């Protein structure tokens, strides 16, 4: 389900600007910009994620998939526009789904019907009063199809409604259609050496093909299946035949739209170490090969294929060196294969890697899938800052006033005295709403103006997000682009795909976006190993050793119980010994149970992941306890 943009819209409709408290007078929000109605120019638009084509006003700003503003987020434009597909839903399900997101008591009755060349639409219109924006006039159009429910939505001020209804909403409804799915959009790898292929897979099948790699090999994984964000129903995966480990799976979040019926395509590199594997492809009872009805995919392929990658991006394939026996590096094979496997299954974790002395000791789960990092993103940003601070592109002592950093609710003169270093330590003293905040952050937020910059620690998404804005302003590069160039590429990350990542704006709260990130378990292990090696990778100093030492030292005591009660520069730090986790160890941590723990005294990195995209996933209450259980496999 495509919840994020719709949740954002609901918050937009219900937002109440928090009143400033404290002794100092706090400036109010900036005025909201109206739409320029004089020069609306509609241009073609294609979204490969939803698999749709249509038209969009030129210059409107995309803040999330299928979610557009009539101007840049910092101007707080009054008009928002959505074009999406609610995959796998019926019309009734879509209406039920939209009611809470649109803050309605019940879905309105249709005010009309409209038939376009591709879809039969129901049109709805209703008014809504927003506490901050005032009276709003909103249009919704829904069209049921085999793919799900197509959605067009326009929300604006009544004074602008008539013009935008005629010039934007109705043309968007008429133009919205499934993206053309023909042979021209498909890549063919028929000239590349095939490693394993499962093609022409019919309904209700589970086919397998074995293959063996005698060296570290970069493969091209190409698959065509079916599914929605609720789950894949026709999909492929790769299993380690010796351990039974599923090392990579075709999850929805790694796919693009590929025509009708929720068809989804994967086209990515997949590097695998030497070993024996099984390739799998499973289907349900409909829409598989030759059951496509009147709308077949543009490419007559249904299944999964692995080819030896002939493009050789980044030079020869690079895989982790693996320990011959865990005992050689101080680990018990018996406990790892027993206790840890059991704990892993009970915990519901998705991926686990243990690296000691730079070698893989133990690996389990989907270590090649790019799961959401949640708050681990903050440690990744800290790493990147170290590289650019060393070059003088970023000066940590610079104040927000000097940098010209502000927000929708303007900063006070005191708040503008906060430095980059204050933000890195979560000690800015700026207590404003921010994108991507958990409820616990909101509940713990101090009163605005209650602490001066640099004097008080608070786990603050405003600080973390503003650092993303500062970084891009200073370097001219997005976080994703820079991380790929400066970190992922040099250390040989195997799965990081910056082109699939984008900022997420909650522009009604803040002009600073949330830089959500996806990264694989094994790529995170490389990042931990980089820091364990003092920022050096194969003789190249990627991040200065001084930054590694300083950023992972406790500069604050957080008051939290548990292993990591200290805080560095967006790293959690062990302030005291706790069993096998010694003082000075540090970790990147994320919602649900994600953790990457760097244990210098053991020369070890442990990465523990969950898949928060999975249906029915359960958060891990205390990932540090899981890591302590893993460390029980250490041989004294």
Q: Is residue 343 part of a domain?
A: no
Q: Using alpha carbons only, what angle is made at residue 264 by residues 278 and 480, rounded to the nearest 5 degrees?
A: 90
Separation CA 155–CA 137 (nearest Å): 6
Task: Flag whether 287 is in a domain.
Answer: yes
Give me the CATH number covering residue 452.
3.40.710.10
Would 335 be classed as within a structural domain?
no
Domain shared by 130 and 229, yes or no: no
pLDDT band at 50 (very low <50, low <70, confident <90, very high): confident
pLDDT at 298 over 90: no
pLDDT at 16 over 60: no
Mean pLDDT over 16-22 rounds to 31
- Whether 528 is in a domain gets the answer yes
Residue 355 resides in a domain: no
Region 527-554: mean pLDDT is: 97
Distance CA 331, CA 456 (A): 41
Tell me 399's DSSP state.
B
Q: What is the pLDDT of residues 196-243, one digit of tens each?
A: 999 999 999 999 999 999 999 999 999 999 998 888 999 999 999 998
354 occurs within a structural domain? no
Residues 6+ apart with CB under 8 A from 321: 358, 359, 360
Same domain for 59 and 94: yes
Number of domains the chain is built from: 3
Lowest mean pLDDT across 298-307, 466-475, 517-526, 565-574: 298-307
Q: In this predicted structure, which of 25-34, 334-343, 597-606 has the lowest mean pLDDT?
A: 25-34
Query: Alpha-carbon distance 597 to 603, whole Å?
Result: 11
Q: Which of 122, 143, 178 is the last residue of a domain?
A: 178
Question: Is the same domain home to 168 and 294?
Answer: no
Tell whether 306 and 431 lie within a shared domain.
Answer: no
Residue 310, burial from CB neighbour count under 10 angstroms (0-12, 13-18, 19+): exposed
Picking from 604, 612, 465, the residue whose alpha carbon sits closest to that of residue 533 is 604
334-363 residues labelled b (16+ CB within 10 A) or e (exposed): ebbeeebbebbeebbbbbbbbbbeebbbbb
- Cβ pair 167, 160 in contact under 8 A: no
Residue 472 within a domain: yes
What's the pLDDT at 619? Answer: 77
Single residue among 146, 178, 210 that ends a domain in this structure:
178
**160 & 189 share domain:** no
Which segment of 128-132, 361-365, 394-398 scores lowest on mean pLDDT?
A: 128-132
Say if residue 6's pLDDT is above 90: no
pLDDT on residue 133: 67
Taking residues 270-290, report their average pLDDT. 94
**pLDDT of 13:** 39
Backbone angles phi, psi at 457, to 5 degrees: -90, 130
Bridging pattern class, strands 263-272 and 206-213: unpaired
At 283, which CATH number?
2.60.120
Q: Give the pLDDT confidence score for residue 115 in this predicted structure.
A: 95
Q: Does some domain include residue 215?
A: yes
Secondary structure (H, E, C), 37-75? CCCCCEEEEEECCCCEEEEEECCCEEEECCEEECCCHHH
Q: 33 and 79 in contact (C-beta within 8 Å)?
A: no
* 154 in the same domain as 195: no
Domain of 204, in residue numbers: 183-319
The pTM for the full model equals: 0.89
Q: Are residues 168 and 188 in the same domain?
A: no
The pLDDT score that the predictor gives to residue 132 is 64
Q: How confident is the model at residue 30 (pLDDT cuts 50, 70, 90)?
A: low
In a shared domain, residues 174 and 187 = no
* Domain identity same for 517 and 615: yes
In the chain, pLDDT over 90 holds for what percent of residues? 65
Tell me: pLDDT of 292 over 80.
no
Buried b or exposed e, range 58-96, using 16+ CB within 10 angstroms = eebbbbbbbbbbbbbbbbbbbbbbbbbbbbbbeeeebbe
Phi/psi for 261 (5° steps) reads 60, 25
Structure tokens at 507: 């522009």
Determine which of 34-38, 275-279, 487-491 has the lowest per-residue pLDDT on average.
34-38
Average pLDDT value for residue range 110-137? 88
pLDDT above 70 for 139: yes
Question: For the domain that residue 96 is a member of, what is the CATH number?
Answer: 3.40.1000.10
| 115 and 95 together in one domain | yes
Same domain assignment for residues 509 and 415: yes
Domain boundary among 178, 203, 233: 178
pLDDT attached to residue 617: 78
If you average pLDDT over residues 348-373, what whole number do you get?
Answer: 93
Query: What integer pLDDT is reported at residue 346 of this predicted model?
Result: 67
pLDDT at 167 over 50: yes
Determine contact, residues 586/573, Cβ cutoff 8 Å: yes
Q: Please give the average per-residue pLDDT across 89-109, as a whole number.
A: 90
Residue 15 has pLDDT above 70, yes or no: no
pLDDT-derived band at 29 (thresholds 50, 70, 90) equals: low
Same domain, 496 and 481: yes
């Amino acid at each position: 389900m495509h919840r994020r943009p719709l949740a954002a819209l609901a918050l937009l409709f219900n937002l109440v600007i928090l009143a400033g408290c404290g002794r100092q007078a706090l400036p109010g929000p900036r005025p909201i910009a109206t739409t320029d109605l004089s020069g609306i120019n509609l241009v073609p638009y294609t979204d490969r994620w939803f698999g749709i084509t249509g038209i969009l006003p030129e210059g409107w700003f995309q803040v999330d998939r299928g979610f557009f503003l009539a101007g840049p987020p910092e101007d707080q434009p009054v008009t928002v526009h959505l074009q999406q597909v609610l995959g796998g839903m019926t019309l009734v399900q879509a209406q039920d789904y939209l009611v809470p997101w649109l803050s309605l008591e019940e879905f309105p009755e249709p005010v009309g019907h409209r038939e376009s060349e591709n879809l039969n639409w129901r049109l709805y219109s209703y008014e809504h009063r927003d506490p901050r924006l005032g009276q709003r006039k909103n249009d919704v159009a829904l069209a049921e199809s085999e793919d799900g429910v197509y959605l067009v939505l326009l929300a604006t001020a009544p004074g602008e409604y008539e013009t935008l209804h005629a010039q934007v909403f109705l043309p968007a409804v008429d133009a919205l259609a499934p993206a053309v799915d023909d042979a021209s959009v498909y890549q063919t790898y028929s000239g590349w050496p095939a490693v394993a292929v499962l093609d022409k897979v019919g309904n209700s099948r589970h086919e397998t093909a074995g293959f063996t790699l005698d060296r570290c090999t970069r493969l091209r994984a190409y698959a065509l299946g079916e599914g929605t964000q609720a789950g894949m129903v026709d999909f492929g995966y790769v299993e380690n035949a010796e351990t039974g480990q599923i090392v990579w799976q075709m999850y929805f979040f790694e796919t693009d739209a590929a025509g009708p019926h929720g068809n989804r395509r994967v086209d990515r590199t997949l590097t695998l170490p030497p070993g024996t594997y099984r390739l799998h492809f499973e289907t349900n009872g409909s829409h598989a090969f030759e059951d496509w009805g009147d709308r077949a995919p543009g490419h007559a392929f249904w299944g999964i294929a692995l080819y030896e990658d002939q493009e050789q991006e980044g030079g020869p394939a690079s895989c982790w060196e693996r320990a011959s026996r865990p005992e050689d590096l101080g680990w018990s094979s018996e406990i790892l294969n027993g206790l840890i496997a059991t704990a892993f299954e009970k915990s519901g974790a998705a991926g686990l890697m243990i690296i000691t002395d730079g070698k893989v000791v133990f690996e389990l789960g989907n270590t090649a899938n790019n799961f959401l990092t949640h708050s681990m993103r903050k440690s990744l940003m800290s790493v990147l800052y170290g590289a650019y601070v060393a070059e003088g592109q970023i000066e940590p002592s610079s104040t927000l006033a000097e940098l010209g950093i502000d927000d929708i609710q303007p900063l006070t003169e005191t708040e503008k005295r906060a430095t980059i270093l204050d933000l890195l330590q979560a000690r800015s003293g700026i207590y404003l709403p921010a994108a991507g905040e958990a409820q616990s952050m909101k509940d713990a937020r101090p009163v605005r103006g209650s602490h001066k910059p640099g004097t008080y620690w608070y786990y603050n998404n405003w600080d973390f997000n503003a650092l993303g804005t500062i970084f891009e302003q200073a370097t001219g590069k997005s976080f994703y682009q820079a991380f790929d160039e400066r970190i992922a590429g040099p250390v040989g990350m195997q799965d990081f795909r910056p082109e699939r990542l984008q900022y997420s704006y909650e522009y009604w709260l803040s002009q600073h976006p949330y830089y959500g990130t996806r990264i694989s378990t094994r790529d995170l292990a490389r990042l931990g190993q980089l820091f364990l090696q003092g920022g050096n990778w194969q003789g190249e100093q990627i991040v200065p050793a001084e930054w590694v030492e300083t950023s992972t030292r406790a500069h604050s005591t957080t008051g939290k119980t548990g292993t990591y009660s200290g805080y560095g520069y967006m790293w959690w730090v062990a302030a005291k010994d706790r069993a096998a986790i010694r003082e000075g160890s540090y970790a990147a941590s994320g919602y649900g149970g994600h953790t990457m723990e760097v244990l210098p005294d053991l020369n070890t990195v442990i990465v523990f992941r969950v898949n928060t995209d999975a249906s029915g996933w359960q958060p891990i209450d205390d990932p540090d306890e899981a890591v302590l259980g893993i460390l029980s496999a250490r041989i004294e």
